[in-house]
Amino acid sequence: MDTVNILICGVGGQGVLLAGDIIAETAIASGFDAKKSEVHGMAQRGGSVVSHVRFGQKVNSPLIRQGEADVILSFEEMETARYLQFLKADGCLIINRQQIIPMSVATGQAEYPVDIVEKIKQQVKNVVLCPGMELAEKAGSAKAVNTVLLGALAKKLELAPDKWQGIISQRVPAKTVEMNKKAFESGYDQQ
């Protein structure tokens, strides 16, 4: 198996870092070598957060170079545009249909881009639009958006769903395991 490169992007508080951990741990549980790196400078204030996850037979570096991501898993629409240059030409883009207004837009110093997803779809052939918030709320909590998105990602990867479920069960609070399993399944089945 060639090395699989997954870039996860979003804003602080969306669960990007936990999602990166779950992806890497699922790959390891599936018998692969995995490496992970993250940047979360202003994460606690709603700033940009990105996590690189690479897995395969042997992985030497956790960082994905521009133009080499097989998948970008985006938790927020504008963050998709910020990291789009990392996607390879035939890569897959999974976008959560959510807009989180940054402080610069809230204070009137900037404007949120109009029709950002439509513009991205003109550049990328393989785009999956995921109503993460809607599916998470149906599963039991808006906080499970990251688990919904992991389900959508799992559908694109060759890692068994039961491996994902096992790692999710280990990583989320015990009282939320069943709800997170439901959220994962809703993301997996929505495509």
Show Cβ contacts of residue 148 under 8 Å, excluding neighbours closer than 6 positions: 96, 130, 132, 135, 136, 139, 183, 184, 186, 187
With beta carbons less than 8 A apart as the criterion, state whether 69 and 55 touch. Answer: no
CA gap 125, 76 in Å, rounded: 19
- pLDDT (0 to 100) of residue 46: 67
With beta carbons less than 8 A apart as the criterion, state whether 97 and 43 touch. Answer: no
pTM of the model: 0.93
Instruction: Tell me the mean pLDDT in the region 55-70.
Output: 96
CA gap 128, 130 in Å, rounded: 6
With beta carbons less than 8 A apart as the criterion, state whether 79 and 43 touch. Answer: no
User: Which DSSP string corresponds to the chain?
Assistant: -PPEEEEEEEETTSSHHHHHHHHHHHHHHTT-EEEEEEE-TTGGGT-EEEEEEEEES----SPPPTT-EEEEEESSHHHHHHHGGGEEEEEEEEEE------HHHHTTSS-PPTTHHHHHHHH-SEEEEE-HHHHHHHHT-GGGHHHHHHHHHHHHSSS-HHHHHHHHHHHS-GGGHHHHHHHHHHHHHT-
Tell me the pLDDT of the chain averaged across its residues: 92
Per-residue pLDDT band for 41 (boundaries 50, 70, 90) equals low
Instruction: Tell me the mean pLDDT in the region 89-118.
Output: 90
- For the cut 90, the answer to whether the pLDDT of residue 42 exceeds it is no
Give residue-wise pLDDT tens across range 131-150: 999 999 999 999 999 999 99
- pLDDT (0 to 100) of residue 150: 97
Class for the domain spanning 4-189: alpha beta
Looking at the DSSP bridge assignments, the partners of residue 63 are none
